[in-house]
Amino acid sequence: MSIFLRILLDAEEPIFSNTLMRLEKVTGNSGVDARLIADIISNYHSVLKRLGLDIKDTTARELYHALRPTAKSGVAGLLLPGNDYAMYMAPDGIVSLNLIDVIENAHHDLPFGSHSMSVGRAELKKELLKRYIKHARSDENTIREIAATIGLID
């Protein structure tokens, strides 16, 4: 599970995986990370369907180029609500579904491979931290101390 999040966040190994295991341990191995991953996948499936793209074989490049016109036409805001932290990962790369990243990429006409994912990654870090803090078995101070070791807290 941690590999998926590590790749999306471009995090350093083995620190990231070890820290995520510690976070899971202090929350009673309750699968906070797995639920977040499921939400990310659900979010990008929804976006792909709305764009008319095939969930099974859409490349990151195809999704990136499908999102650009939505930003330029102003409909990206309708397409991407609730996707602040969602990202799409395919063998050819990653695409942020964060509205600000999508608009930034379209506005600056950034080519695939040089595209912005910084806001989406920052939101994913915040979401991951928030979910561990909100967990019923967690202690906020302990979570923050552990999370700081992998940069979830700036």
Nearest C-alpha neighbor of 123 from the set 89, 92, 82, 91:
82
Between helices 32-51 and 60-73, what is the axis angle to 10°? 70
pLDDT, tens digit only, all 154 positions of the chain: 689 999 999 999 999 999 999 999 999 999 999 999 999 999 999 999 999 999 999 999 999 999 999 998 989 988 897 879 999 999 999 999 999 999 999 999 999 999 999 999 999 999 999 999 999 988 999 999 999 988 888 6
